[in-house]
Amino acid sequence: MTEDAAFVGVDELLGSELRDLNFEVLSGGSSLDRRISHPRVQKPGLAFAGYYDYIKAGRVQIVGASEKAYLETQAPEVRTRRCTAILEREIPVFIVTKGLDPIPEFNRLAEAQGVPVLRSPSLSSTVIKRVSNFLEEHLVPSMHLHGVLLDIYGLGVLLIGASGVGKSECALDLITRGHSLVADDRVTVKLYPSGDLVGSAEKPLRHHMELRGLGIVNVHDLFGLASVREHKPIDLVVELEKWDENRAYDRLGLDESVYPILDTPCPFIKMPVALGRNLSILVEIAARNHLLKMQGHHSAREFARMLEEKLAEEGKK
């Protein structure tokens, strides 16, 4: 289980995901390893007017036509003073939009401070939307888990357990029963502002499974499009563990546990693995039962309540 740091390098803005913005580096090319740590972007108009406290460290700064026009109305010494004050505030990158040429002082000062300046021919509104969406996707808290994530009856079910316990084999049996694979072995989990824990597989591993004795198989090619999903919120965690004869397992289902992922509790079940137990059917039933709980029907509690009522009636006789 590993957790990723929440930052994006400026150089990642130049990757394939934002290729449509056609960024070019105007200055600070040797400092593209600067870190962006906040998903919201800013337009530094107030800062250019001298209100520097509105500039937040770690945010992308967007310079459009209005910001450039305002700077051009200021005396050269004022422009230099204000740009210097802004560039000293740990700005990761400036993006100039609409293909504009920034004022010469700005480029020169940015180069001296080692602050990258990028330019895009796109409108400010387009750049803001695309860059904000990109940063929101990449800056949410994330981690990697060892397990298998499946879509079972519309629920995201994460199978975890020690290596060799049978997670992939169980998952393969569930896929043959009509359920879908999201990720095998290495599950990338992201926590979004909505509170959803969304799991997925990284591109090299996507749609693939490792099966001991067979090697790597492509689930999409073997079973078709309906057998895979790109991502899925995690609704239930099931831990497969080897049966321990000396351990007393819950037989009623009244005990409810949670499994924390990125400090977010997920409903959790421990499922012992023993010879003769059909794990895929048991996991399927666990998913169905969890769906009933989400709809307000808790079988174990209802059974316990009926039993208590019966005992109470008999006690009155």
In 47-167, where do the E strands start and end? 61-63, 94-96, 117-119, 142-152, 155-161
**What pLDDT does residue 21 have?**
96
In the chain, where do the E strands start and end? 2-4, 8-9, 24-27, 35-36, 61-63, 94-96, 117-119, 142-152, 155-161, 180-191, 197-200, 208-211, 215-218, 231-233, 236-242, 257-261, 264-273
Average pLDDT of the chain, as a whole number: 88
Contact 153, 235 (CB under 8 A): no
**What pLDDT does residue 222 have?**
93
**What pLDDT does residue 3 have?**
54
- For residue 259, the Cα-to-chain-centroid distance in whole angstroms is 18
**What pLDDT does residue 304 have?**
64
pLDDT band at residue 253 under the 50/70/90 scheme: low
Choose, from 4, 11, 173, 185, the residue flagged as catalytic: 185
Choose, from 79, 167, 229, 290, the residue flagged as catalytic: 167
For residue 226, pLDDT over 60 is answered with: yes
Residue 208 annotated in active site? no
Alpha-carbon dihedral angle through residues 40, 121, 67, 77, given to the nearest 10 degrees = 120
Contact 153, 291 (CB under 8 A): yes
Choose, from 146, 186, 231, 270, the residue flagged as catalytic: 146
**What pLDDT does residue 2 have?**
55
Distances (CA, A) of 174 to 61, 168, 310: 48, 10, 39
Choose, from 251, 255, 263, 317, the residue flagged as catalytic: 251
Range of weakest confidence among 34-48, 195-209, 272-286 = 272-286
Tell me the pLDDT tens digit for each residue of 272-307. 887 767 889 999 999 998 888 888 877 767 766 777
- What is the arithmetic mean of pLDDT over 31-59? 90
**What pLDDT does residue 65 have?**
93
Q: What domains appear along the chain, each with residue ranges and CATH number?
A: 2-139 (3.40.1390.20), 142-302 (3.40.50.300)
For residue 252, pLDDT over 80 is answered with: no
Residue 310 annotated in active site? no
**What pLDDT does residue 301 have?**
72
Q: What are phi and psi of 79, to 5 degrees?
A: -60, -45
For residue 47, pLDDT over 70 is answered with: yes
Residue 89 annotated in active site? no
Percent of the chain beyond pLDDT 70?
94
**What pLDDT does residue 95 have?**
96
For residue 317, pLDDT over 90 is answered with: no
**What pLDDT does residue 7 have?**
85
Q: What are phi and psi of 219, to 5 degrees?
A: -65, -40
Tell me the pLDDT tens digit for each residue of 136-172. 888 888 899 999 999 999 999 999 998 888 898 999 9
Mapped onto helix, strand or coil, the DSSP state of residue 89 is coil
For residue 37, pLDDT over 60 is answered with: yes
Tell me the pLDDT tens digit for each residue of 68-121. 999 889 898 998 999 999 988 889 999 999 999 988 888 889 999 999 999 999
pTM: predicted TM-score of the whole model, two decimal places: 0.72
Residue 229 annotated in active site? no
For residue 207, pLDDT over 80 is answered with: yes
For residue 240, pLDDT over 70 is answered with: yes
**What pLDDT does residue 260 have?**
95
